[in-house]
Amino acid sequence: MRKDCYVCRSEGFNAHARVSISTQRKTIIATVNVVSNDSLSHQEVGLSESAWHRLEAQDGDKAYFHHAKPAESMSYVRGKLHGTRFSDNASHHIIRDITQGLYSDIQLAAFVTSCAGDRLNTDEVIGLTKAMVDAGSHLNWESDMVMDKHCVGGLPGNRTTPIVVAIVTAAGLTMPKTSSRGITSPAGTADTMETLAPVNLTISQVRSVVEKEGGCIAWGGSVSLSPADDILIRVERALDLDSEGQLVASIISKKVAAGSTHALIDIPIGLTAKVRTLDYAETLADKLISTGAVLGLKVETIFSDGQQPVGRGIGPSLEARDILLTLQNKPDAPQDLRQRSLIIAGKIFEMGGITVKNQGISLAEKILLSGQAWSKFQAICEGQGGMRIPPTATYKHEVIADRAGVVCYINNRLISKLAKLAGAPASPAAGLDMHIRLSDRVELGMPLFDLYAQSSGELQYTLDFLNEHPGAIQIEEDVL
Amino acid sequence: MRKDCYVCRSEGFNAHARVSISTQRKTIIATVNVVSNDSLSHQEVGLSESAWHRLEAQDGDKAYFHHAKPAESMSYVRGKLHGTRFSDNASHHIIRDITQGLYSDIQLAAFVTSCAGDRLNTDEVIGLTKAMVDAGSHLNWESDMVMDKHCVGGLPGNRTTPIVVAIVTAAGLTMPKTSSRGITSPAGTADTMETLAPVNLTISQVRSVVEKEGGCIAWGGSVSLSPADDILIRVERALDLDSEGQLVASIISKKVAAGSTHALIDIPIGLTAKVRTLDYAETLADKLISTGAVLGLKVETIFSDGQQPVGRGIGPSLEARDILLTLQNKPDAPQDLRQRSLIIAGKIFEMGGITVKNQGISLAEKILLSGQAWSKFQAICEGQGGMRIPPTATYKHEVIADRAGVVCYINNRLISKLAKLAGAPASPAAGLDMHIRLSDRVELGMPLFDLYAQSSGELQYTLDFLNEHPGAIQIEEDVL
């Protein structure tokens, strides 16, 4: 808005004021930026793209501007800061206001901070989870058992979901999987899957493929299962603040809203993974299980090694390649990715009562080796709109060992960063192809990984960053 | 920046990324907004006005963009959230990073939230105050006694400072007062004073008028005494979160940086004032006094009635009128404003050892009645660049009582809001002129206050708001 605009002045809007904008069609909450040049006339406002879309605005629309009604639920946040617990009612109001966009970033940060660490007790976590479920849309399924999985994350290349869904649905279980896109990571399951088939499905498309094949691997974004969570995650990431309670509410609310009855949650533990210690993993597991139980979701957890990337490829196309090698039982399939997928699928079989305890993994392997998983995966891809061939990158650069020795450390965060800088996931073919794993013996000049990019600029920039941050892979010399 | 800009992609900037921008002259931290239309070309970026000025940019400048180095002191904030106290070193790093603009709004909100309520102990408040003083510029004065005052605020029209400075300096004490402009209030002392004389003085201008007259009433903005505080206050206001510790650090750091040796702090107590209870006022007073003592500032506090506005005028020009009436000893001077000014000036005399206890107020009154205060005020205005005549408003509207009875409640916040909507302080002549005070008897149709505005639109908008929010002044009927 113009700084000297009549509305701006009479309403008393300053820069960053929160305003409600209404057209005949819709009302949204937005933040004001003021301009003092003539890029806008007095009766004119400009909207950001997201505001434009949320408002479903059209050129020449007449809009009405008012101060946004204050987010009254902030009083509960203030109360929390003075020691009052969140009641179910408080959580409900806070999440509703957040979903409606009434909270500014500053207020979101205050809420996230008020929940930081272990500040939420069990009742508060349950209340928050319920509130998040209520605030979003829900999916319902015919079958009385709906399987789901989740990985707490932090491991580049850890793309077990498509393999697990193929194995589990091949055995006749229902597994309608909705996955996310990479926001701070070089690829989300949706990004990787999109190189193999369409993932941007409508609810009815999801329904039809699940009816026919028993499962899918779709993008969750088209189905807004926990909109408040999507808003909060952005702020949590910016603050790099972990809140146990928020994490539990985030995971469980999405599974419940997705209509799942059983969920297996993989918690990788490692210095540069999201969960760094076994203690924290155990607390997290307890909270996930107990909160799930209250909301009617049967949760089981497994702890896994979080010290290094999984598979060889990092980035959508390269991860897709690993998935295909595994499903097609190729000899050069990454064994760690294969093994993790079999463990998870096996556990899901046991949860679903398909096998007795400890027999799940062998059934999973049988289904994989028989080729049933591969055919099922192809069928699902067809059901989602047709199988695709992942694109390949134009630029490649081999990064080699600057000394001989044993690989003693891999920094997951730096590896992810490199893949992102190379262009992933925006450029699906970009990323890293790892040639080494922890405790591998390397010789001077041996390739550590290949970098792939779609533009020479991005490749160069990634190499510059690599020179400034050589610590991604550490090689210990003179090991006896 | 363009969304598809090479730098944007290779650096991996998304919307809201924090970036460092460097020209040959300067480096600043800013937040990225991305555009996807052709308003910018590939090698082009647009800057906000504030970024443009802070960067001292010129058209055609070449600038370099990088990810801002993360605000490493955020780790202390995270630590605080997990129970670790702020060490002096932690406070120092946090305040330095905030001053350098390394903290995003989200991070500022997390820091403010981590200090909310009584989360800061005495040591932390002292450490924070020292850090704030170190981060800004300092003023030094010849005389070994430099008097100062402050009002914790929330009362519209409470403009005692110009009167107090005139009386105190007339008695020979040194009182170089730097004041703020109204940000959320309809007028700051600097806004009001500006209708009577220039307040936008350079340090050397301040020095010369203080040397000659012993005092001044200047805008503190030109002298950045506690830059971190100016940044934090904006976020605290947006959150409406009060942090005792932050408030104390904010007040004391500015007084110490201003070179004051003695400060009298007025704490108005009232339902719609900043301080609502006597208990809180007492805690606050203790912390102000003890923190001041450690930093070599002698602090005394007074509690005053915070139930209603002070004086009649609310808004720069109207408040200036009340100040002149008082300094000129006019019979229709607002007695409450006069009385408050005398009490404060009297206390400052006692702090400065000019009189013994309880004799200050009579000396203050003597100086006011003698006309010395008025001549001193005129001299200070001349010293600051020449006395001015406050502007008067074009539009006036009388708001009348809708019933007979006794005025039983006045909402300071709503009264301030009305004055702001009418255009104050941007339009200095805009605001309210109160005709009633608490416990006044009014008849149906009697004027309660006059509204003044510079545009009919602003006047109309204020009246609309008044109709929607009639609770600003409550009249109790059938009082016996």
Cβ contact, residue pair B241, A78, below 8 Å: yes
Cβ contact, residue pair A457, B74, below 8 Å: no
| Residue among B10, B235, B238 whose CB faces A458 most closely | B10
Residues of B in contact with A81 (CB under 8 A): 113, 116-117, 119, 241
CB of A109 less than 8 A from some CB of B: yes
For A414-426, what is the mean pLDDT?
91
Cα separation, A189 vs A149, whole angstroms? 12
Instruction: Give the percent of chain A with pLDDT over 90.
Output: 68
Residues of A in contact with B19 (CB under 8 A): none
Q: For residues A179 and A161, is the Cβ–Cβ distance under 8 A?
A: yes
Please name the residue of chain A whose CA is at the shortest distance from the CA of residue B457: A10
CA–CA distance from B78 to each of A239, A243, B122 (Å)? 9, 11, 20
Please name the residue of chain A whose CA is at the shortest distance from the CA of residue B115: A81
For residue B372, the model assigns a pLDDT of 98
Q: Which residue has the higher pLDDT, B132 or A231?
A: B132
For residue A30, the model assigns a pLDDT of 87
Cβ contact, residue pair A239, B9, below 8 Å: no
CB of B71 less than 8 A from some CB of A: no
Q: For residues B292 and B255, is the Cβ–Cβ distance under 8 A?
A: yes
The shortest C-alpha distance from A290 to chain B (Å) reads 24
* 3-state SS track over chain B: CECCCHHHHHHCCCCCCEEEEECCCCEEEEECCCECCCCCCCCCCCCCHHHHHHCCCCCCCCCEEEECCCCCCHHHHHHHHCCCCCCHHHHHHHHHHHHCCCCCHHHHHHHHHHCCECCCCHHHHHHHHHHHHHHCCCCCCCCCCEEEEEECCCCCCCCCHHHHHHHHHHCCCEEEEEECCCCCCCCCHHHHHHCCCCCCCCHHHHHHHHHHHCEEEEEHHHCCCCHHHHHHHHHHHHHCCCEHHHHHHHHHHHHHHCCCCEEEEEEEECCCCCECCHHHHHHHHHHHHHHHHHCCCEEEEEEEECCCCCCCEECHHHHHHHHHHHHCCCCCCCHHHHHHHHHHHHHHHHHCCCCCCCCHHHHHHHHHHCCHHHHHHHHHHHHCCCCCCCCCCCEEEEEECCCCEEEEEECHHHHHHHHHHCCCCCCCCCEEEECCCCCCEECCCCEEEEEEECCHHHHHHHHHHHHHCHHHEEEECCCC
Beta carbons within 8 Å of B328's beta carbon, 6+ residues apart: B374
Residues of A in contact with B78 (CB under 8 A): 116, 240-241
- Write the pLDDT tens digit of every residue in A93-121: 999 999 988 898 899 999 999 998 888 99
CA–CA distance from A163 to each of A252, A320, A378, B219 (Å)? 22, 10, 11, 67
Closest CA to B159 of B188, B180, B186: B188
Cα separation, B398 vs B433, whole angstroms? 9
Alpha carbon of residue A351 to chain centroid: 24
R_g (Cα) of chain B, nearest Å: 24
Q: What mean pLDDT value characterizes chain B?
A: 91
Cα separation, B173 vs B169, whole angstroms? 5
Which range is least confidently modeled, A42-51, A368-377, B363-372? Answer: A42-51
Residues of A classed as catalytic: 242
Q: For residues B367 and B166, is the Cβ–Cβ distance under 8 A?
A: no
Instruction: Give the percent of chain A with pLDDT over 70.
Output: 98
For residue B206, the model assigns a pLDDT of 93
**Size (chain B), residues:** 480
- Write the pLDDT tens digit of every residue in B385-423: 999 999 999 999 999 999 999 999 999 989 998 998 898
pTM listed for this prediction: 0.81
Q: Which pLDDT band holds residue A10 (cuts at 50, 70, 90)?
A: low
The shortest C-alpha distance from B162 to chain A (Å) reads 27
The shortest C-alpha distance from B442 to chain A (Å) reads 31
Pick from A106, A185, A395, A455 the residue to mutate for testing the B interface (most B CBs within 10 Å).
A106
CB of A457 less than 8 A from some CB of B: yes
Q: Which pLDDT band holds residue A175 (cuts at 50, 70, 90)?
A: very high
Please name the residue of chain B whose CA is at the shortest distance from the CA of residue A241: B78
Cα separation, A223 vs A6, whole angstroms? 40
User: How many CB atoms neighbour CB B161 within 10 A?
Assistant: 23
| Residue among B10, B36, B240 whose CB faces A49 most closely | B36
CA–CA distance from A78 to each of A82, A94, A203, B242, B475 (Å)? 6, 12, 39, 9, 32
Pick from B19, B36, B113 the residue to mutate for testing the A interface (most A CBs within 10 Å).
B113
- With 80 as the cut, is the pLDDT of residue B223 above it? no
Report the phi/psi class of residue B152: left, alpha or beta, with left for phi > 0 and alpha for psi in -120 to 50.
alpha
For residue A480, the model assigns a pLDDT of 53
Cα separation, B33 vs B19, whole angstroms? 11
Q: Which pLDDT band holds residue B479 (cuts at 50, 70, 90)?
A: low
Please name the residue of chain A whose CA is at the shortest distance from the CA of residue B47: A35
Q: For residues A193 and A217, is the Cβ–Cβ distance under 8 A?
A: yes
For residue B90, the model assigns a pLDDT of 97
Q: Which amino acid is at B126?
A: I
Please name the residue of chain B whose CA is at the shortest distance from the CA of residue A12: B421
The shortest C-alpha distance from A43 to chain B (Å) reads 14
CB of A468 less than 8 A from some CB of B: no
For residue B350, the model assigns a pLDDT of 97
Q: Which pLDDT band holds residue A355 (cuts at 50, 70, 90)?
A: very high
Residues of A in contact with B240 (CB under 8 A): 74, 78
Q: At what angle do helices A122-135 and A88-99 cross, to 10 degrees?
A: 40
Which range is least confidently modeled, B2-6, B259-263, B281-285? Answer: B2-6
Q: Which pLDDT band holds residue B451 (cuts at 50, 70, 90)?
A: very high
CB of B454 less than 8 A from some CB of A: no
Most confident of A81-85, B13-17, B191-195, B278-282: B191-195
Cβ contact, residue pair A116, B81, below 8 Å: yes
- With 60 as the cut, is the pLDDT of residue B314 above it? yes
Cα separation, B462 vs B117, whole angstroms? 34
Decide if B242 is catalytic: yes
Q: How many contacts does A have with B, using Cβ atoms within 8 A?
A: 103
* 3-state SS track over B217-242: EEEHHHCCCCHHHHHHHHHHHHHCCC
Pick from A113, A416, A451 the residue to mutate for testing the B interface (most B CBs within 10 Å).
A113
Cβ contact, residue pair B238, A109, below 8 Å: no
- With 90 as the cut, is the pLDDT of residue B110 above it? yes
Cβ contact, residue pair B105, A106, below 8 Å: yes
For A280-291, what is the mean pLDDT?
95
- Supply A312's token pair: 């060889």
CB of A53 less than 8 A from some CB of B: no
- With 60 as the cut, is the pLDDT of residue B259 above it? yes
For B432-441, what is the mean pLDDT?
95
Q: What mean pLDDT value characterizes chain A?
A: 91
| Residue among B10, B113, B421 whose CB faces A81 most closely | B113
- With 90 as the cut, is the pLDDT of residue A374 above it? yes
- Write the pLDDT tens digit of every residue in B47-87: 988 888 889 888 888 998 887 777 889 999 999 988 899 99
- Write the pLDDT tens digit of every residue in A142-151: 899 999 999 9
From the list B242, B266, B279, B332, the catalytic residue is B242
Cα separation, B393 vs B297, whole angstroms? 42
Phi and psi dihedrals of B126, rounded to 5?
-65, -45
For B152-170, what is the mean pLDDT?
95
CB of B37 less than 8 A from some CB of A: no
Q: For residues B99 and B220, is the Cβ–Cβ distance under 8 A?
A: no
Cβ contact, residue pair B10, A109, below 8 Å: no
Residues of A in contact with B36 (CB under 8 A): 49
Q: Which pLDDT band holds residue A342 (cuts at 50, 70, 90)?
A: very high
Residues of A in contact with B106 (CB under 8 A): 105-106, 108-109, 235, 238-239
| Residue among B238, B423, B461 whose CB faces A104 most closely | B238
Strands B473-476 and B405-410: antiparallel
Please give the span between the terminal C-alpha atoms of chain B, in angstroms, as a whole number.
Answer: 69
**For the complex shown, is ipTM > 0.85?**
no
Strands B18-22 and B27-31: antiparallel
Q: Helix, strand, coil shares of chain A as percentages rounded to 5?
A: 45, 15, 40
CA–CA distance from A265 to each of A161, A234, A252, A345, B93 (Å)? 12, 22, 10, 12, 39
CB of B64 less than 8 A from some CB of A: no
Helix (H, G, I), strand (E, B) or coil at A410: strand
CB of B430 less than 8 A from some CB of A: no
Residues of A in contact with B421 (CB under 8 A): 10, 12
Most confident of A13-17, A348-352, A464-468, B247-251: A348-352
CB of A463 less than 8 A from some CB of B: no
